[in-house]
Every structure is written in structure tokens, then in C-alpha cells.
């Protein structure tokens, strides 16, 4: 059986944070019913770098986050559509939405009203700032949260700062946090029989990821330093130039530093008071780096990676995204899976990254066409073909 087999999720989310959360539930085997507006569906259907797919409402942004799901279109401003949603909520386990606070209340679909229909329901609301507080009603996109969370302030160096992460890290981490919370609530329900409301804020979700940096400030009263690609906990630990490019080296332990110095024929640096101990090396990293790079430039990156890793000094090349996606270890782990989508072709999409021994989960169905499963789902609720036609004519579905 699948890990979440028998769990039905009503997914009202759009774009990234919510769809990323429900993607993980779908990959784990839950039946995720993606509820979309009838006109154009999730905005992500029109986002991506392939205009032909955008025109088909199957943009690359949508394809990336919506495998294993079903698509049902409901116009939640129509009373018949609201009635359908309530019928589904009565027989479902989870509702997930990422509207601004108050929107679901205006639809008449607040947690209070829905839990009255189904007390076992878990209701997860994802927003930028949470459901309460002075910023709750502010609009929020990933970049806004990156700025307000402090992430952009600690990225980069004195030449390039502030600096955003190169992908929507706040949205994706918020989605992971939501999926984690939903699973915890499902576990609690197994013990008590009760559902509950979950309030997920993107700003809450991302800030604990800076735990080490924040702890230095909150506990040690030390402001973060702009170190670019250097690791603030150790030196030499970061990115260094080689003959043909760059290499990441993480000589975080004393014995790793000493081995590195020996391999670079810099044994004398082990006794240099500027570099002998970890804290001294951190303070003098600007003096240490050019000494190391002068030696690294004698050979290509691949040479040093093989040598250092053979001596238990963590190191690695800095790959392009294309190289990273095609490296042997990623293929071995089946991080990506190829699945065929009708009228689109083969798609390489991310599989579930957790490997379960007894309850394996994986990508099995392509992202759905808009309204692809409307007839199937509503027929399962008892609606006849004639009633479905009437609902379409009325603009409810």
C-alpha cells in the first residue's frame, strides 16, 4: 500500500507554496483533488519558458509541481459550486489553501464552517505572514519574504549585497513545512479522531533555516558577516579557484585542514600562528585563501576533487544545473523520473526524494489538464450527466 493511501486532499492552492506541499502528499499516495477556477485554472499553468505549453495551460511551472493530482474546476463564487465543495469536504481528510487571510471566510468555507460538517478534517492555510498579526493582510511573494526574513541581508559579499537566493526558497520551504504539519496532524487524528486548523506562514517557515547564523546573533551577540561563498563556521571552507574553474572545499575539521595543507605542499602553514587553529584561520581567511589558490591553480578541478576526497577532505566541483541534473548519483537515486504526457511528450519531473523501504512512493501520473477529472469526481458524488451539463451552463464548474 501507499503511505497515504485512502487520504483525500482538497487542494485549493495555486502557483508554488501550496502546490509544492500537496505534491508531496500526492507522491506519498494521497488522492489530491486540485480545485481550480473554471476559466484558466492555476496561474502556474500560464508560467514558464515554453509559450506553446503556456497556451495549452500546461506551463513548465505547473508541470513541475502537480504530478499525481486530479483537476476539478469549481467557481467558488457560485452557490452550486460551494455545495459541491462542502459535499467533498464531508468525505475528505485535508483541505489546503493559500489565499490571503479572510478569502475562504468570504466564500463561506472557513475552518469553523467546514469543521462543523466534518470534525475530522485537517485544514491547512498557507500565507505569507500567517492568519493573524500586524502584517497578516499584506500581499507576499517569495522575494518579499526573502527580504523581510533577513536572508537577502546575509547573502553575497561586500560587492554584491543584498542578494536573493536563485530559486523561490521561501515558497518551497513553506510548502515543505505545510506538508510536514499536515502529516503530524494526520498522526494526531489517528490517536484522537479530531481534525484541526494549521496556520503556516512563509516567514515563519524560512527563518529557522538560518538557525546557526541566528544563534550567533541571539545567543552570541555576533552580527552575521558577508562571506560570499565562504563557510562562516570554518576555514578553509568555501569556494576556491583552480586552473580551469572553481572547487568547493570543506576542511571543517582540524585533521582535514592539516591533510589539505600537506597535499598542497603547504605544510609550513600548519604551524603559522595565523592558521594553526580554527578560530585563527577564520579571522585570517583573506590571507589564507590566496595561498591555497596559488597551489590549486596548478591543476584542474577534477584532479583536486579526486585527490581530496580520497583523503577524506570533502570537496566537489561546482556544476551547472544541467550537469547536476544529469550526474550519475542523481540517476542512481532516481531523483528524476520520466513520464509521458499526451500531446506534450516525455517529461522529466522530480520524484519523491525520501526512499521508503516498506511503502515506496513515486511519481505515477502526469500533471492534469484543466478540469480533466471534473466528470469523474462529480459522478462519484452522484451527479448525473444531465446535472453536470446544467452546472457547466450555469458557470458553476
**Domain residue ranges of the chain, discontinuous segments joined by +:** 8-208+332-393, 246-317
**Mean pLDDT value of segment 275-280:** 96
The distance from CA 274 to its chain's CA centroid, rounded to whole angstroms, is 41
The domain defined by 8-208+332-393 carries CATH number 3.10.560.10 = no
Region 144-164: mean pLDDT is 95
Q: Which residues are catalytic?
A: 171
In this predicted model, what pLDDT tens digit does every residue of 224-262 receive, in sequence order?
A: 999 999 999 999 999 999 999 999 999 999 999 999 999
CB 56 within 8 A of CB 360: no
Where residue 361 falls among pLDDT bands split at 50, 70, 90? confident
Q: What is the b/e burial string over 322-344, where b = at least 16 CB atoms within 10 angstroms of the residue's CB?
A: eeeeeeeeeeeeebeeebebeeb
pLDDT-derived band at 201 (thresholds 50, 70, 90) equals very high
Cα(5)–Cα(14) distance, integer angstroms: 24
Mean pLDDT taken over the chain: 96
Distance CA 12, CA 18 (A): 8
- CA separation for the pair 168, 146 (Å, rounded): 9
The pLDDT of residue 1: 83
| pLDDT score at 362 | 86
Question: What pLDDT is recorded for position 237?
Answer: 97
Which residue is associated with the grid cell 526558497?
169
Tell me, what DSSP letter sits at residue 194?
-
The pLDDT > 70 percentage for the chain reads: 100
pLDDT at 32: 98
The CATH code belonging to domain 246-317 is 3.30.1540.10
Name the residue among 62, 63, 65 with its Cα closest to residue 24. 65
Share of the chain above pLDDT 90, in %: 97
Which residue would you say has higher pLDDT here, 362 or 170? 170
Given a cut of 90, is residue 162 above it in pLDDT?
Answer: yes
Instruction: Provide the whole-model pTM.
Output: 0.94
Amino acid at each position: 500500500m501507499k503511505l497515504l493511501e485512502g487520504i483525500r486532499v482538497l487542494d485549493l492552492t495555486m502557483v508554488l507554496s501550496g502546490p509544492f506541499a500537496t505534491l508531496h502528499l500526492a507522491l506519498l499516495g494521497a488522492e489530491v483533488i486540485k480545485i481550480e477556477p473554471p476559466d484558466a485554472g492555476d496561474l502556474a499553468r500560464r508560467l514558464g519558458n515554453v509559450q506553446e505549453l503556456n497556451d495549452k495551460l500546461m506551463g513548465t511551472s505547473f508541470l513541475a509541481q502537480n504530478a499525481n493530482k486530479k483537476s476539478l474546476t469549481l467557481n467558488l463564487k457560485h452557490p452550486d459550486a460551494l455545495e459541491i465543495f462542502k459535499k467533498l469536504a464531508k468525505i475528505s481528510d485535508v483541505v489546503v489553501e493559500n489565499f490571503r487571510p479572510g478569502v475562504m471566510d468570504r466564500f463561506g468555507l472557513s475552518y469553523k464552517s467546514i469543521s462543523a460538517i466534518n470534525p475530522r478534517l485537517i485544514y491547512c492555510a498557507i500565507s505569507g505572514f500567517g492568519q493573524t498579526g500586524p502584517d497578516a493582510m499584506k500581499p507576499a511573494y517569495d522575494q518579499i519574504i526573502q527580504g523581510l526574513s533577513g536572508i537577502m541581508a546575509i547573502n553575497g559579499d561586500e560587492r554584491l549585497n543584498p542578494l536573493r537566493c536563485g530559486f523561490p526558497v521561501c515558497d518551497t520551504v513553506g510548502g515543505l513545512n505545510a506538508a510536514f504539519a499536515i502529516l503530524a496532524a494526520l498522526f494526531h487524528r489517528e490517536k484522537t479522531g479530531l481534525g484541526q486548523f494549521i496556520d503556516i506562514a512563509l516567514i515563519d517557515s524560512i527563518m529557522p533555516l538560518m538557525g546557526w547564523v541566528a544563534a550567533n546573533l541571539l545567543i552570541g551577540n555576533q552580527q552575521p558577516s558577508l562571506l560570499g561563498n565562504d563557510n562562516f563556521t570554518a576555514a578553509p571552507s568555501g569556494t576556491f579557484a583552480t586552473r580551469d574553474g572553481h572547487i568547493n572545499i570543506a576542511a571543517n575539521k582540524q585533521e582535514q585542514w592539516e591533510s589539505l595543507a600537506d597535499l598542497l605542499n603547504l605544510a609550513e602553514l600548519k604551524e603559522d600562528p595565523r592558521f594553526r587553529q580554527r578560530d585563527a584561520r577564520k579571522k585570517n581567511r583573506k590571507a589564507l585563501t590566496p595561498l591555497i589558490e596559488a597551489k590549486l591553480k596548478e591543476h584542474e578541478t577534477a584532479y583536486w576533487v579526486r585527490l581530496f576526497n580520497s583523503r577524506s577532505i570533502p570537496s566537489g566541483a561546482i556544476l551547472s544545473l544541467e550537469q547536476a541534473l544529469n550526474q550519475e548519483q542523481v540517476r542512481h537515486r532516481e531523483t528524476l523520473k520520466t513520464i509521458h504526457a499526451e500531446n506534450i511528450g516525455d517529461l522529466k519531473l522530480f520524484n519523491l526524494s525520501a526512499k521508503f523501504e516498506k511503502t515506496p512512493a513515486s511519481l505515477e501520473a502526469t500533471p492534469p489538464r484543466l478540469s480533466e477529472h471534473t466528470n469523474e469526481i462529480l459522478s462519484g458524488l452522484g451527479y448525473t450527466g444531465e446535472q453536470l451539463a446544467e452546472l457547466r451552463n450555469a458557470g458553476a464548474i
